[in-house]
Structure 1
Amino acid sequence: MPTPDRLPAPSARRIEAVRNFNRFYTRRIGVLSEGLLHSEFTLTESRLLWELAHAESVTASELARRLDLDAGYLSRLLRGFGRRGLVKRTRSKGDGREVLLDLTAAGRRAFASLNARSEEEVGAMLAALPDGQQDHLIHSLSTIERLLDDAKGRAARAPYLLRAHQPGDIGWVVSRHGAIYAQEYRWDLTFEALVARIAADFIDRFEPSREACWIAERDGVNVGCVFLVQWRDEATQQPVEGVAQLRMLLVEPAARGLGIGARLVRECSRFARQAGYRSIRLWTNSVLTAARGIYQKEGYRLVASEPHRSFGQDLVGEIWELTLA
């Protein structure tokens, strides 16, 4: 089974959807007003106050790095805070060249007032929603933060787990295969129908000692899957002794780059060895270069290929095989 593994280019519709959300949310939380939360502080000033309140004795360069602000712009903001008596400067005892910044008593009072208003406004916004919708909103915000976080080091901050399939997973497998392959490769509904038949056969014939499914889950959301089943003779549908088949490997676009695909393939190899299989075979298509790279790294070798017309496209089908020690 082929595996999409390249990041799709964003469509104009998706770009506009994000821009619409940005316009809605900035208006909803009052960012467009002259002063945030009906205060004397702009959004940037409020964020700077928050950083100073949560970091004792910090340098201007550290603030610039945390807030991703131009050093000159930050310097003007800090001078303004100084004139208003909100910030004090002291020389570092460890390094006399460093100037450390702290909020004054007036600065801490200003932050406390602003923070209380923010908590009150967010509390009122959440209170307008039923409990279940509040949970859904918080989960959605967490997802946005995770997806839009900087890519550097993201893999180390993005744990996932592998688990066995449970009710609801098979429907997800079929649905996501159909949607992702249509979006990324323009495959038609006949592919989704094929996946549905394969998934139904897996449930009907499932032998836990010889077959398995792994679902990759991240933050409570399914992000990948793979199946290992007994290879069957095409004509008789009888299992071929000692040969397993890797099927329906899939990784969600948002979860790519974390090594999930390679991990799923390794789990298949581990399980097959323990179950006593001599080899694993899989069927894929030549256009799926990233997936083929995963198979090659695992030790699979190409044993057969044949052009075919399927899923509304001209393709080259391939059979790969891994010999198990």
Structure 2
Amino acid sequence: MTSCPADSTIARVRRFNRFYTRILGLLDRHILDSPFSLTEARVLFEIANTRGCTATKLIELLEIDPGYLSRMLKKFEKQNLIFKEKSASDGRFHFLHLTRKGRDVLAKLNESADRQIAKLIGSLSGDRQAALVKSMARIEAVLSGQPDSSIDSSVTIRTHRPGDIGYVAYQHGVLYAKEYGFDLTFDYYVARGLVEFLENYDSVTDRLWLAEYDGQIVGSIAIVGRGGNTAQLRWFLVEPGFRGRGVGRRLMAEAMNFCRERQFAKVFLWTFDALHAARHLYQSFGFQLTDRKEHDVWGRHLVEERWDLDLGRA
């Protein structure tokens, strides 16, 4: 589903574009410290690394003007940086290759570019450099429509600490209002349960875990001891941008390992029938649907479900 971006969003993207274009302009003039522009260096790079590289492929890859590329390739040939090889299957096409001189020139360009990038970000701390790289990966993933693989390896799971409880309540209130239309009575329900969790907290039987990415809480899950070797799984949530990446499964694994370590015999949870992905995950961990009740709650008409897991049989 697409939506028309707000004027403020468009203005912010244009501001970033102007800033980054200025950075690229500085790089173009100074980073390579050579007679080659960034575009020329990129063409040499693609010729070296693109299998079966042709002028047509370069136009598609770089979205470059055909006339400009033609003049550039003629200059490279004159400088003995590239040579052409006629295609055996189609004489209309010529494959492009770097000469030995071309490979030497590209190696020096890469070394120079590496030095200048190091100079550009060298004043940043290690944490800020890492944040910069993560931000670049997120922008690339969002605009390309591809998953950001850096997320998967960078999400950490930890137990709760001061300040987390309020944020977990906030996340639940915002997300369930947005995705399911819950009203303020759900905020009260979640907040009251979390307050009770803190009031009665016992580290032997109770635990709250948070999934964290780049200092941001992106998921949660809890186990609350209910007496009689029984525990309840509560407050399971994964932010939309982090779903489908195994974060929920990692949180579930932490919770279930804790239950086994504490030798709980049974674990139960309450959910509702619209949470399809969560229900599938519960089922994959051995939970079984044991009860359903239909009623009006949190401003909606819901079918609540109880799921149980017998750890003695799991």
TM-score band by shorter chain is 0.7 to 0.9
1:273 alignment counterpart: 260
How many residues end up aligned between the 2 structures? Answer: 292
| Amino acid corresponding to residue 226 of structure 1 in structure 2 | I
1:230 corresponds to 2:225: yes
Shift of the 56–80 alpha-carbon distance from structure 1 to 2, 3 Å rule, reads: closer
CA deviation string 1:87-106 (max 9, x = no partner): 811479xxxx9632378599
1:184 corresponds to 2:179: yes
Would the aligned equivalents of 1:242 and 1:278 in 2 still touch at CA under 8 Å? yes
2:71 alignment counterpart: 80
Would the aligned equivalents of 1:64 and 1:74 in 2 still touch at CA under 8 Å? no
1:311 alignment counterpart: 298
Q: Which of 66, 69, 87 pairs up with 2:60?
A: 69
What 5-or-longer segments of structure 1 have no aligned partner?
Answer: 1-8, 40-44, 232-238
Shift of the 68–158 alpha-carbon distance from structure 1 to 2, 3 Å rule, reads: farther
- Residue aligned with 2:230, SS: strand
2:209 alignment counterpart: 214
How far the C-alpha of 1:308 sits from its partner, in A, is 1.8
Would the aligned equivalents of 2:208 and 2:220 in 1 still touch at CA under 8 Å? yes
1:158 alignment counterpart: 152
Shift of the 165–24 alpha-carbon distance from structure 1 to 2, 3 Å rule, reads: same
Would the aligned equivalents of 1:51 and 1:63 in 2 still touch at CA under 8 Å? no
Would the aligned equivalents of 1:280 and 1:322 in 2 still touch at CA under 8 Å? yes
Would the aligned equivalents of 1:81 and 1:87 in 2 still touch at CA under 8 Å? no
Shift of the 69–323 alpha-carbon distance from structure 1 to 2, 3 Å rule, reads: same
- Residue aligned with 1:173, SS: helix
Shift of the 47–183 alpha-carbon distance from structure 1 to 2, 3 Å rule, reads: farther
CA deviation string 1:129-157 (max 9, x = no partner): xx99xx77983773353264256574476
How far the C-alpha of 1:246 sits from its partner, in A, is 0.3
2:167 alignment counterpart: 172
Cα distance in 2 for partners of 1:264, 1:280 equals 15
- Residue aligned with 1:142, SS: helix
Q: TM-score, normalised by structure 2?
A: 0.73
Q: How does 1:222-301 map to 2 (within 5 A)?
A: 222-231=217-226, 239=227, 241-301=228-288
How far the C-alpha of 1:76 sits from its partner, in A, is 5.0
2:311 alignment counterpart: 324
Q: How does 1:33-48 map to 2 (within 5 A)?
A: 46-47=38-39
| Amino acid corresponding to residue 89 of structure 1 in structure 2 | I
1:21 corresponds to 2:21: no
Shift of the 193–18 alpha-carbon distance from structure 1 to 2, 3 Å rule, reads: same
Cα distance in 2 for partners of 1:75, 1:27 equals 26
Would the aligned equivalents of 1:300 and 1:320 in 2 still touch at CA under 8 Å? yes
Shift of the 10–170 alpha-carbon distance from structure 1 to 2, 3 Å rule, reads: farther
1:199 alignment counterpart: 194
Q: Percent identity?
A: 27
- Residue aligned with 1:273, SS: helix
Shift of the 293–62 alpha-carbon distance from structure 1 to 2, 3 Å rule, reads: farther
How far the C-alpha of 1:69 sits from its partner, in A, is 3.2
2:4 alignment counterpart: 12
Cα distance in 2 for partners of 1:195, 1:311 equals 11
2:96 alignment counterpart: 99
Q: Which has the higher contact order (CA 8 A, sep 6+)?
A: 1
RMSD (Å) for aligned C-alpha atoms: 4.4
Q: TM-score, normalised by structure 1?
A: 0.70
- Residue aligned with 1:267, SS: helix
How far the C-alpha of 1:67 sits from its partner, in A, is 8.5
Would the aligned equivalents of 1:309 and 1:315 in 2 still touch at CA under 8 Å? yes
What 5-or-longer segments of structure 2 have no aligned partner?
Answer: 31-36, 86-93
- Residue aligned with 1:187, SS: coil
